[in-house]
Structure 1
């Protein structure tokens, strides 16, 4: 059984050693803030947290066993990342992308990822191709066992992995942002592009990278993203926070 691809979300600078950090209370608050941000982001990428869902501060505080101040810090960060909107007097809501925003998100992805695979074709090596093949195996296994959150995350992380293989963390962070926003678009408009189709298209892209065929890789990536965009249809849903937010273990 091929090893699962490591988690690719939220590339952050390494934290300073404990002796160099500020007081424990502040460090704990920052850790809790990151846990909430990571959990909400994961719920969006795995398509469990629906656009328009109200993110009630007290509800989240109860789920994560933290203060509302910590929750507010997390919501402010997510707002800056354009994943949620803060409405005065009403609270926080998962962002609901417009049709025009959806079009712009996929246009941006085509521009970024076409250049990404073109550059990869010029420099990718066999160990990196092996990482991609391992990732494809993990995708196939998640699809076969009907692991919906797992396969959704893996299908998204494929695109971040491509950026990471270039050794460009800034580009990987850009891809994280675009993928989170793409997930909101797909949730809001209920993509009918199947996981099996996405996986097959990923396999074709890796085959082109293996051949170092930049023209085919760019064409296949554009076709893949175009297929996902064309299969969007308007069908918003809502969900309950307790069902979709899964607080990571404090020791993980």
Structure 2
């Protein structure tokens, strides 16, 4: 079964196809199947997904807006290669935004939402017990989902959009440069943050979140990495 057969059967419009391609490419980038600097050739991507270059261009532009793809005039699109300074700026941005999100979430959180958080922590615990790159990538996704759920509980749609971009960028940086072994620390941090949220203690939740971001950034080890060819990275 081809990618086209698998994902694009039925009356998909161009916008739907662009969104699906964006999601496939985003996953391949964040999962480190596509290494930083990999050229994303419009014609090749179009062939893989059986779509026009116009549709591919729309997907790449969306990823460029998220900071996961860099476009260069007369050269095309490439997987972003975050510098140490760009990585610091991502986490500095999170320090500015997430404490306020935590305070708002502590005021609004419900019993049902607390149960949702606990389910996320259960998934993180399960992934921590598994081994291999697939489990590690899934754990990074699960950790990011915790922060997106926090932003959702805060009830500010604009901040949620900001956090979706920041979490995507953070996940790329962590997947590329994070040392193994930091996940248990991150999981314990999440549990402590949830305890503060459940107590509706916004100040403590905010303080713990800042400490958590410090832990994540301290684990980064900025070194080069290699990935798969474009066709291999996007294979089902």
Query: Into which bin does the TM-score normalised by the smaller protein fall?
Result: 0.7 to 0.9
Misfit runs of 4+, over 4 Å: none
Q: How far apart, in 1, do the equivalents of 2:32 and 2:148 lie?
A: 17
Deviation at residue 94 of structure 1 after TM alignment: 1.0
Task: Summarize deviations over 1:149-186 as a string: whole Å, max 9, x none.
Answer: 32221111110010111232222211110011112333
Structure 2: which 5+ residue stretches go unaligned?
1-9
Aligned partner of residue 92 in structure 1, secondary structure: strand
TM-score, normalisation: structure 2: 0.85
Q: 1:98 aligns with which of 67, 71, 83?
A: 83
Q: Aligned residue pairs: how many?
A: 222
Measured against aligned partners, the alpha-carbon deviations of 1:112-149 in whole angstroms (never above 9, x if no partner) come to 11111112222212111111101111121222233233
Q: 1-side partners of 2:185 and 2:233: how far apart? A: 26
TM-superposed CA distance for 1:79, in Å, is: 1.9
Which residue of structure 2 lines up, in the alignment, with residue 245 of structure 1? 234
- Residue by residue, what CA displacement relative to the aligned partner does 1:38-66 show, whole Å, maximum 9, x if unpaired? 11222333444332122122322232222
The CA distance in 1 between the partners of 2:156 and 2:235, in whole Å, is: 30
Higher helix share: 2
Aligned with 1:172 (options 160, 164, 170):
160
CA distance in 2, matches of 1:63, 1:76: 18
Farther off after superposition, 193-202 or 118-127: 193-202
- The TM-score with structure 1 as length reference comes to 0.80
1:150 and 1:220, CA in 2 relative to 1: closer, same or farther beyond 3 A? same
Instruction: Kindly provide the CA deviation profile for residues 55-78 of structure 1, in whole angstroms up to 9, marking residues without a partner as x.
Output: 122322232222222212211222
Larger RCO (CA within 8 A; separation ≥ 6): 1
